[in-house]
Structure 1
Amino acid sequence: MTRRALIARLDSVGDVLLCGPAVRAVAASDGIDEVWMLCSTIGAPAARLLPGVDRVLEWDCPWITANAPAVTPEVMADLRGLLAEARPDVAIILTSFHQSPLPLALELRLAGVPRIVGASVDFAGSLLDVRLKPGEDFPEDQPEPVRALTIARSAGFDLPHGDTGGLRMGTDPRGEDLYASAGPYVVVHPGASASARRWPTGHHEELVRLLAEDGVRCVVTGGPGERDLTARVAGHDGVDLGGDTELGVLADVIRRASVVVCGNTGPAHLASAVGTPVVSLFSPVVPPERWAPYGVPHLLLGDQRADCRGTRATECPVPGHPCLTSVTPSTVREAVLGLAPELVGLGSRERSIA
């Protein structure tokens, strides 16, 4: 008889990628034959690229998903239908510090799931069979992958021998078709879902220009809704891939890059999962101890003592957005060259070859 685990992570791409080590721990268990994931429609493409995942179910959660749907009988009936299809033997609910596993745990319990695991600051009663208390059973200020793996370990799931717990994901090799580079390049990703996490567009433009003067090619990436932004940032010096990369292809483009420049957003975690260094333009609205690039060389830029720190704001509450506007393009250029020494002097080498 197949024993199935259901792992729930109901927010965005980066959040799903960060639970990859926990997923591998569950998949490696002798008592589990299949791992299914329950994710939002935004996060599902990332789940399909995680090692150890056999199937992905999509559902947009009214209490977690950004732009959450209304709680209606129809929305909840959709969830119940998915749970009836999954029929898991164990469910592991992975959440961040500001999210509760209890509403989903209630639905899982009503669906007859015999074992439910999660972390909750609130009393869970009979909703959780294994309950970790954040701040008591584990510290809150730790990387998100460690938090997720801690939740999995509390239920007896651990990484196999030789797995050091880094992020991993599959990629789509069509990335080489989009940008088959004869030499090194830097990925610049100017967008982010929250304006509080975006470095100014003009700063991105200037960075691409400065790196072009160094002979460094920049590939500018973004989603379908960011084509105007990526075209502006790429200008005449960069390669504009805005809207042209599905998640697996984007991961492959990032995998081939020397460095990625981006804010605290999905591509930072894509880079972590494929082993590419990151220049992280990190707004302190959330703690870097939890959300900084994990397991790869990175430089964290941005005023981490700014007045917006810890607010979880999506729009900067401080006039002028000083935590990031204070970071100059020349500073980022130096950070890029510091993380990728092979780029230093590239322009002069190319001129001498020519």
Structure 2
Amino acid sequence: MSRVLVARQDNLGDVLLAGPCLRAVATQASHVTLLAGPHGRAAGELLPGVDEVLTWTAPWIDPAPPPVTAEDTGEFVALIRAKSFDRALILTSFHQSPLPLALLLRQAGVPWIGAISEDYPGSLLDLRHRVGGDPPEAVRMLSLAEAAGYALPPDDHGALALRRPLPPSTRLTGGGPYVVVHPAASVPARQPSAGWSHRVVRALAAEGHRVLVTGAPGEAQLTACVAGTSAVNLGGRTSLAELAAVLSGAQVVVAPNTGPAHLAAAAGTPVVSLFAPVVPASRWAPYGVPVVLLGDQRAPCRDSRARVCPVPGHPCLEEIDPAEVCKAVAELGATVPPRVSSLL
């Protein structure tokens, strides 16, 4: 048995997608530490198999990177050295390099390091793993654990998962079935307009669904606009664990390509994925649950990794008919409570 560090230092959804890899490592390691960035820490705390979460902002990954200083990297190296890890796995997206972190881990005395790397690693890596094709990100990361000798047990479904039990959520959701609409995304290119999302909420409500609109504290103005008078506005009212509980209780979640879509998948809830093709859906669509993918996957922005939509009018999302969303919600099993007719 050993002490293993697993690093995934970017956003909420990326950390959630690392869940199967972390569970595989936990089957053989005596202690699993997740190294996360500030945007992903809260997700790491929800993952089965994780004993400890460390946070450090990687200047080569964070979208608002801090300056590189000898003091900061020195403190990080000292922290890792004090933890006496036996092994480390570095998880990165295809466009990120694991080598800067590998160098710091070597300086911290970590004796064995594995990562997926297209670049020549020299003596920085003991395992240089390569992945062919374009598999889902969760599968890609799990393959690194497997190459390092870790495997999920036979009774593990291999999908995303959350640490249970989740907090009670009835005070937020009320009673009865409901559908969640989560309108925000981490970058504008992946997010439909507030007006379009409001039309979706109204269309779902008109069909008889009880709709809850969710969002982070900084998105409260957006969620209020989207909810209007047709839905319950939960924007800014939940911790991440409470949001997970709300999503877990939903019949279906409607969301763009963002962390809460992966949180819904980890909770086991079907997702209507409003997917702008700036990154490939084959890799980044919600994993392990029933999904209906909406959005023009052949739009001019395809695979551009644009943070702001380069096409006027954002047609890949804005041209989705709200009726298509309602149809997808029904296809994924959401039911409408029967209306009670009053007797005259």
- CA deviations on 1:42-98 (whole Å, 9 max, x unpaired) are 101111111010000011110012212121223212321321232210000011100
- Superposition map of 1:27-106 within 5 A: 27-29=26-28, 32-106=29-103
Equivalent in the alignment of 1:305 = 298
1:230 Cα deviation from its structure 2 partner: 0.4
CA contact (8 A) 1:259 1:279 kept: yes
Distance in 1 of aligned mates of 2:281 and 2:110: 35
| Deviation of 1:121 (Å) | 0.5
Aligned 8 A contact 1:176 1:252 in 2:
no
Find out whether 1:10 has 2:9 as its counterpart: yes
Q: Is the 8 A contact 2:251 2:334 kept in 1?
A: no
Q: Is 2:168 the counterpart of 1:174?
A: yes
Deviates more, 1:123-132 or 1:73-82: 73-82
Distance in 2 between residues matched to 1:319 and 1:87, nearest whole Å: 52
The Cα shift of 1:173 comes to 1.9
Counterparts of 1:353 and 1:101, CA distance in 2:
65
- Cross-structure match for 2:127: 130
Structure 2 unaligned regions, length at least 5: none
1:292 aligns with 2:316: no
The one of 110, 115, 118 aligned to 2:107: 110
Q: Deviation per CA, 1:195-246, whole angstroms, max 9, x where unpaired?
A: 0001121111111111112221111000111010000111111001101111
Report what 1:234 is aligned to: 227
User: TM-score normalised to the size of structure 1?
Assistant: 0.94
| Residue 260 of structure 2: aligned partner | 267
Q: Identify the residue that residue 18 of structure 2 maps to in structure 1.
A: 19
**Which amino acid is the alignment partner of residue 168 of structure 2?**
R
Q: Cα distance, 1:127 vs. partner?
A: 0.4
Mapped pair 1:352 → 2:341: yes
SS at match of 2:211: strand
What amino acid is aligned across from residue 157 of structure 2 in structure 1? T
**Equivalent residues of 1:203, 1:328 under 8 A apart:** no
Residue 320 (structure 2) aligned to one of 313, 319, 327: 327
CA distance in structure 1 between the aligned counterparts of 2:204 and 2:315, rounded to whole angstroms: 24
Cα pair 2:137 2:283 within 8 Å, conserved:
yes
Say whether residues 1:191 and 2:191 are aligned partners. no
Deviation at 1:118, TM superposition (A): 0.2
Q: Secondary structure at the match of 1:293?
A: coil
Structure 1 residue 339, shift from structure 2 partner: 1.2
Instruction: Tell me if the contact between 2:252 and 2:334 (Cα under 8 Å) persists in the aligned partners.
Output: no
Amino acid at match of 1:35: V
C-alpha separation between the residues in 2 aligned to 1:341 and 1:253? 15
Deviations 1:131-175 (A, max 9, x none): 013xxxx22411011000001111101111211211101253232
Offset at residue 178 of structure 1 (A)? 1.6
CA contact (8 A) 1:262 1:268 kept: yes
Partners of 2:324 and 2:174 in 1: how far apart? 28
Aligned partner letter, 2:83:
A
Deviations 1:85-140 (A, max 9, x none): 3221000001110010000000011111110000110000110000013xxxx224
| Structure 2 counterpart of 1:18, one-letter code | L
Partner Cα separation in structure 2 for residue 149 and residue 278 of structure 1: 22
Do 1:41 and 1:60's aligned partners in 2 also have CA atoms closer than 8 Å? yes
Q: Which of 148, 165, 171 is 2:141 aligned to?
A: 148
Q: Is 1:256 aligned to residue 260 of structure 2?
A: no
What residue in structure 1 maps to residue 198 of structure 2?
A: 205
**Which amino acid in structure 2 is aligned with residue 5 of structure 1?**
V
Structure 1 contact 170–248 (Cα < 8 Å) conserved = no
**Aligned AA for 1:3?**
S
Runs of 4 or more, structure 1, over 3 Å off, are none
CA contact (8 A) 2:7 2:90 kept: yes
Structure 1, unaligned runs of 5 or more: none
TM-score with structure 2 setting the length? 0.96
Offset, 1:8: 0.3
Paired with 1:321 and 1:213, the residues of 2 have a C-alpha distance of: 26
Checking the alignment, whether the CA contact within 8 Å between 2:179 and 2:334 is kept in structure 1 is no
Q: 2:330 aligns with which of 307, 328, 337?
A: 337
